[in-house]
Amino acid sequence: MWPLFQQALVGAADASLPAVDPSRFQAMAAADPTALIPGLEEQIDGPGLDLAKLSSQERRQWAADQRHWQGRLETIESE
């Protein structure tokens, strides 16, 4: 399946498709990973998340979640 996706990505699978430069998307993802999917940042952070309204336990959990996902992102970027 992956080779077919790669062919489609560069326009080799169908001559009517315009060629797509994968490095453009890699650069966008490096600059801002949420830029590739409109609305992703709102889905991750929540619409107007107000930390002040969270209990201390919820704030600790939120901070732990942030550290966890930041660590995962750094792991992915280093691979």
* CA distance linking residue 51 with residue 59, whole number of Å: 7
C-alpha count within 13 angstroms, C-beta hemisphere, residue 71: 6
70 or 45, greater pLDDT:
70
- 10 and 37 together in one domain: yes
* CA distance linking residue 50 with residue 78, whole number of Å: 32
What is the per-residue pLDDT across 9-55, written as a single tens digit (0 to 9) for each? 555 545 555 666 667 667 766 666 655 565 555 555 555 566 677 78
* CA distance linking residue 27 with residue 33, whole number of Å: 9
Q: What is the pLDDT of residue 36?
A: 58
In angstroms, the Cα distances linking 64 to 13, 61, 71 are 44, 5, 11
Instruction: Give the model's confidence band at 63: pLDDT under 50 very low, under 70 low, under 90 confident, else very high.
Output: confident
- 33 and 56 together in one domain: no
Q: What is the pLDDT of residue 1?
A: 42
- 55 and 28 together in one domain: no
- 40 and 5 together in one domain: yes
Q: What is the pLDDT of residue 61?
A: 87
* CA distance linking residue 62 with residue 70, whole number of Å: 12
Domain limits for position 68? 49-79
